A and B are shown apart, each in its own frame.
Chain A
């Protein structure tokens, strides 16, 4: 099911004469038993109220897709008496469960650091510790570890130059959602930039939900845990009995 969704244009700066209008190939991802990841096609166009002045730099687009924000406990191992033991612990207060950034050029070159900070663009801006414990050496390395581990798992991705811009008007890219997604609303933003400053932002959401049997199992496990546990046991005992009987018949 591929639905087109027109994006809601958010409050644009008064001076902006250009706006970004975008759409997604799907705004709903269903996690069913055979879910093996999904590819989201993001595309759109730039709407102009006046001709582009000749003295401005080229147009750039940054697209981000962000999963629900979670708290994460990060532990660092240290060698004590010859064995590796968890020693320092930092609670990372904000870390998106999924974060993909697709850009039309190298992120550092097309966007000011202050703009990245203001809009929370980039792994270093999205993964944050609010109050770092004072007794921990080098707390920054803990947020870097979150980014490193999640990039290795395919949950974080930075795709520099993956956004295709045609005639400074049409743009498109595709973002792969991995199979190990969590449920929730995935915030999708499209930023229009010129001269490293953000001119306009459009935003929408992708809803990721478990469906069918997956949903039934998940809901039962959380809302009727005793029943769920007893059912799990019953299935286990039944399977054991069936296997035993089948093998007894086979032997005859």
Chain B
């Protein structure tokens, strides 16, 4: 069934969009990532104009993250206090990121820098997670699982310490705010929620227990992507309500299924799967940069001078 998208001004198959939304929703619920880093390139591929894809994707992530967070709230696996502190940093970072994005657009290099950002961050994050979870799997299997050691590094001993009960941490808010801000900047530039950076940062830098990481990340993503949606809607008029609705119908259902699946898998297995997925996307983008493209020319709307 073909459907015409009023803002994107293209006609696409409605079931294809529902399917894409559902698939990305499952990942969102399982891993606590918004799924934007997969969905945005997929939307480019089916012919949605990039500006519309990025803006609409932000709106869809709000829905799937909200659906996921409700499931996590019921299981009490959201550290709301940590989420709020991350969010304060995140909104500041996002506002700065939107400005950087606009400046890059006028330079005509936004596509390249976005892709490079993806390759670098997906590559680093994917490799770190993959190595770490392999090591964890080997360590856990023979001996009985020991409590994860909380090394209190100098980062945690900075001033303004705060107690995060759900995460069982008593650490400085400075690294939390900085991580929130850094992810906010990247999220705005890359047009994603930033969960795939946030989740590893929470595990490896802040030392949060894996079970609260996913819910907390989703909690924070709702607000950052909600803010991004409003910015795009009011400044670029590129949020497509029909596209968003179809994607989120698939997405919210997928997120629920994903959250259930996530509970059944072990944390290390979950992390290895996510690492492989992240590395896969990274590899694909890297190939696109290195291999000679079939069409050397690209068309864009004229940039206002």
Contact = CB atoms under 8 A, between A and B. Distances in A.
A208 B295 CA distance: 30
A244 B244 contact: no
Interface in A148-183: 148-150, 179-182
A233 B62 CA distance: 7
Contact of B230 (A34, A180, A233): A233
A150 B234 CA distance: 30
Nearest to B11: A179
Nearest to B239: A232
B237 A222 contact: yes
Contacts of A34: 1-4
Contacts of A148: 295, 297
Contacts of B226: 233, 236
B302 interface: yes
Q: How many residues of A sit at the interface, in one of the four size bands?
A: 35 or more
Contacts of B112: 83, 85-86
Nearest to A75: B298
B66 interface: yes
A74 interface: yes
Contacts of B255: 240, 243
Given A33-B242, A237-B62, A244 B297 contact: no
Interface stretch (A16-24, A39-47, A223-231): A223-231
A76 interface: yes
B11 A180 contact: yes
Contact of A240 (B109, B233, B244, B252): B252
Interface stretch (B137-145, B167-175, B286-294): B286-294
A83 to B, nearest CB: 4
B63 interface: yes
B229 A232 contact: yes
Given A225-B234, A232-B244, A233-B229, A84 B239 contact: no
Contacts, number: 190
B63 A225 contact: no
B178 interface: no
Contact of B302 (A71, A82, A149, A182): A71
B9 A180 contact: yes
B217 interface: no
B299 A73 contact: yes
B188 to A, nearest CB: 16
Contact of A149 (B9, B232, B244, B295): B295
A4 interface: no
B159 interface: no
Interface string A72-103: 11111111001111100101000000000000
B282 to A, nearest CB: 14
A84 B293 contact: yes
B92 interface: no
Given A70-B302, A228-B239, A239-B249, A83 B233 contact: no
B248 to A, nearest CB: 5
Nearest to B259: A247
B94 interface: no
A145 interface: yes
A91 B302 contact: yes
A138 to B, nearest CB: 12
Interface of B: 1-4, 6-7, 9-11, 47, 59-60, 62-68, 70-71, 74, 108-109, 111-112, 226, 229-230, 232-235, 237, 239, 241-242, 244-245, 248-249, 252-253, 255-256, 289-293, 295-303
Given A76-B296, A146-B297, 18 more contacts: A34-B2, A73-B301, A73-B303, A75-B300, A83-B289, A89-B108, A141-B297, A145-B296, A145-B297, A148-B295, A179-B10, A229-B239, A232-B233, A236-B248, A240-B64, A240-B67, A243-B255, A247-B253
Interface of A: 31-37, 70-79, 82-86, 89, 91, 141-142, 145-146, 148-150, 179-182, 210, 213-215, 217-218, 221-222, 225-226, 228-233, 235-237, 239-244, 247-248
28 contacts: A35-B11, A37-B11, A71-B302, A72-B302, A76-B296, A76-B297, A79-B292, A84-B291, A84-B293, A86-B108, A86-B111, A86-B112, A145-B295, A145-B299, A210-B6, A213-B6, A218-B6, A229-B233, A230-B230, A235-B63, A236-B226, A239-B248, A240-B62, A241-B70, A243-B255, A243-B256, A244-B66, A248-B74
